[in-house]
Structure 1
């Protein structure tokens, strides 16, 4: 009987240790990602749409009739999926920019890709009081222009025209099509920058900034080193408030 009693005690102790370990891991994850959940909580609505860039011009249509999406945008979507899952969004409500309806424009929007490739990004940026903007799409100008200082931010390439440093803009603001909803824009000069923009939304450099933590509308610029075909070190450059008020967290 003694050996049976010892076995039962050991089994119960092991079970309790397992349950405690799982509970502790869960609590640690909740604490670690609390800022990410807080950032995305107001977007968890039935009308949320994640809107991707798509290339459907004639030269792209010849190769793929459904349209083409950049690798950087796909990487950004994967990062967004992981972040939104922590805010209880089980699957991405995904649509391409040319298929977003007028009514869907009035919901919460996460726009992936800059104004050169995502027409909804272009529409929204035109309607926001931004100081950071990309160059003209007509001449494929991927530089970022600062209206406040006159500075021009450029990507860096090597002697073989390979991209060494990409850059981009992250924006959170009221949806200009519906002041009761919000918009986030993740826009790189190139696809690497768009991917890095999504990653930046999980980093304390941005989430811990007073404007971001206080749930204010903002625009931010960043640069990112490229090595081995992937974004590496992301450097937050500037965060500025916008003349646009946001709803209290969870409203709507």
Structure 2
């Protein structure tokens, strides 16, 4: 009987030790993750910060129309283009926004809330930023839709950018190695690319800027996904490169509309100089 009780006590003690170790490991891991989150996002969790969104203009949506119609219709397309732009603009006077850019903002808000931010960040328009320019900024959208993205990539002397090809299609480019990454859409296998930039703000000393943009909306989503979910990698880059870093990220979706899988990965990164 005593032997049985001794065995039970040993089992209970082992269970208690095991439970304590598991609890301790969870606490240690949570603290490590929290420390990593603060390395990347610390200023955005407690200080005045905002998200800067761009505007997808009717002109941007329509300007490649003449080049995409048969040659015999090109002259008519050029004549019709101003009327097409005007009609699109009148359909939604408040402005347009790509679904991918919107999803990127949702992912950023959710990621910061999970990291401990108590209130959602205010969202400002790139053409109406005002005094918020002196806050920490998360700038969402490419050069063709967001003027602040355009300005920051130049001020920070970034070597990753988004440009347009001869068919008026966006691509991500590494200016150091002159390498391009373009979106390749397909029903069951889609690739896209984006950029992540983090640096001290050129607008206000002591503040930070993060730029999230893509060749298309999927690339922008991937940039946001990597920025808020690749916690350890983003933290390491933030610590190793306090003067700023830049990344190119990939987006890959397989499957159909009913069942699909999305993955986002860092393709390259480097310190800003």
Query: Fold match, TM over 0.5?
Result: yes
Distance 1:122 1:212, change over 3 A: same
Q: Which residue of 2 aligns with 1:53?
A: 54
What is the number of equivalent residue pairs in this alignment?
A: 218
Answering whether residue 127 of structure 2 is matched by residue 126 of structure 1, we say no
Task: Kindly indicate whether residue 264 of structure 2 is the aligned counterpart of residue 234 of structure 1.
Answer: yes
Give me the whole-angstrom Cα distance separating, in 1, the residues matched to 2:91 and 2:189. Answer: 25
Q: Which residue number in structure 2 is paired with residue 250 of structure 1?
A: none
Q: Does 1:147 align with 2:175?
A: yes
The equivalent of 1:95 in structure 2 is 124
1:65-80 alignment to 2 at 5 Å?
65-80=93-108
Residue 150 of structure 1, CA deviation: 1.6
In the TM superposition, what is the alpha-carbon distance from 1:71 to its structure 2 partner?
1.4
Q: TM-score, normalised by structure 1?
A: 0.75
- 1:57-113 Cα offsets, whole Å, 9 max, x none, are 445421211112221122111211122122324212111222212x32222100011
| Partner secondary structure for residue 74 of structure 1 | helix
The counterpart of 2:247, out of the listed 220, 230, 242, is 220
- The answer to whether residue 225 in structure 2 is matched with residue 199 in structure 1 is yes
Q: Using the alignment, how far apart are the partners of 1:93 and 1:170 within structure 2?
A: 20
After superposition, the Cα gap between the structure-2 partners of 1:65 and 1:115, relative to the gap in structure 1 and judged at 3 Å, is: same
**TM-score by structure 2 length?**
0.69
Residue 50 of structure 1: SS of its match in structure 2? Answer: strand
Secondary structure at the counterpart of residue 170 of structure 2: coil
CA–CA separation in structure 1 for the residues paired with 2:202 and 2:246: 15
Select the residue among 193, 196, 208 that pairs with 1:170.
196
**1:16 aligned residue:** none
Unaligned runs of at least 5 residues, structure 1: 1-19, 244-252
Post-superposition CA distance 1:169-225 (Å, at most 9, x none): 1000121222321100000111111111111011147325x4334352100001111
Q: Which structure dedicates a bigger proportion of its chain to helix? A: 2
The unaligned stretches of length 5 or more in structure 2 are 1-19, 59-85
Residue aligning to 1:4: none
Could you tell me how far apart the structure 1 residues matched to 2:261 and 2:121 are?
23
Identify which range, 140-149 or 121-130, moves more after superposition: 140-149
